[in-house]
C-alpha cells in the first residue's frame, strides 16, 4: 500500500491482462510463453505470478475479461428500446465485430486445466458464459412475449444465437483468411436465416 503513491493493483493486473489478450490473440496458448506476456506488459516474469496463480489462471482470466465485455455489449443493446428483432440484429453485429477482433482468443477456449484449478477457474468461466446467455435470452423472451418470435425455449435460442457469432469467427479463420474463396456470409444473411430460415 505504501509502495507507490497511488499504486493500484488493479491497474497493473489489467496491464498484464491487456498484454495477455494481445499476445494470446496472436498465436496459440502453447506458443505464448509467460515471459513474453510479461515483457510485453513491461513487467518481469515473476510479477505475473503475483497477480495470477499460474498460466491457466491468466488464460481463463483473459477469457472472462472478454466475455465481460460481450456481456456489456448485450446489456447496452438491451437498454435500447427497439423491438427484439432489431436488438438481436444489433447484438449480432456488435458481437461479431468484437469477436472478429479477438478471434484467436475466442478460439483458444481450451478444455484442459490442471486438476486443482480446473474446478474453481472453470466454474467462474462457465458462470460468465451463463451470464451472457442469460442476458441474451432476456432479449429473446421479450421478443416471444411481444409475439415477434416463436415461443421456443429462450435459453436454447440464445445459445444458438451466440454460436452464430462464432460461426463467423470460424469462417473467417478457416476459409476467409486463407483465401480459398471469400465465402460471403454477411451478418445480414446470417441474421436473415436465423429469422426466416432458408426454406422457401
Site residues (CB under 7 A) for DNA?
Answer: 1-5, 7, 9, 12, 30-35, 42-47, 49-51, 54-56, 114
Q: What minimum distance in Å lies between the beta carbon of 55 and DNA?
A: 4
Q: Report what 188 binds from its own copies, DNA, none; CB cut-off 5-8 Å by kind.
A: none
Q: Report what 199 binds from DNA, its own copies, none; CB cut-off 5-8 Å by kind.
A: its own copies
- Asked whether the beta carbons of 130 and 66 are under 8 A apart, the reply is no
CB-nearer residue toward its own copies: 14 or 85:
85
Q: Report what 185 binds from DNA, its own copies, none; CB cut-off 5-8 Å by kind.
A: its own copies
CB-nearer residue toward its own copies: 42 or 195:
195
Distance CA 147, CA 34 (A): 51
**DSSP one-letter string for 120-144:** HHHHHHHHHHHHHHHHHHHHHHHHH
Distance CA 90, CA 87 (A): 5
Distance CA 200, CA 198 (A): 6
Q: Report what 47 binds from its own copies, DNA, none; CB cut-off 5-8 Å by kind.
A: DNA
Distance CA 86, CA 122 (A): 33
Amino acid at each position: 500500500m505504501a509502495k507507490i503513491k497511488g499504486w493500484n493493483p488493479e491497474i497493473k493486473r489489467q496491464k498484464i491482462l491487456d498484454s495477455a489478450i494481445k499476445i494470446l490473440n496472436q498465436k496459440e496458448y502453447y506458443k505464448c510463453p509467460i515471459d513474453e506476456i510479461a515483457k510485453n506488459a513491461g513487467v518481469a516474469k515473476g510479477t505475473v505470478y503475483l497477480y495470477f496463480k499460474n498460466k491457466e489462471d491468466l488464460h481463463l482470466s483473459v477469457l472472462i475479461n472478454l466475455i465481460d465485455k460481450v456481456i456489456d455489449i448485450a446489456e447496452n443493446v438491451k437498454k435500447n428500446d427497439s423491438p427484439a428483432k432489431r436488438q438481436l440484429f444489433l447484438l449480432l453485429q456488435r458481437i461479431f465485430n468484437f469477436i472478429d477482433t479477438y478471434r484467436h482468443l475466442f478460439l483458444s477456449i481450451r478444455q484442459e486445466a490442471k486438476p486443482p484449478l480446473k474446478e474453481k477457474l472453470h466454474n467462474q468461466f462457465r458462470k460468465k458464459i451463463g451470464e451472457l446467455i442469460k442476458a441474451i435470452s432476456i432479449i429473446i423472451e421479450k421478443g416471444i412475449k411481444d409475439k415477434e418470435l416463436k415461443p421456443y425455449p429462450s435459453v436454447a435460442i440464445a445459445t444458438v444465437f451466440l454460436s452464430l457469432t462464432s460461426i463467423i469467427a470460424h469462417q473467417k479463420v478457416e476459409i476467409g483468411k486463407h483465401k480459398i474463396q471469400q465465402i460471403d456470409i454477411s451478418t445480414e444473411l446470417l441474421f436473415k436465416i436465423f429469422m426466416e430460415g432458408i426454406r422457401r
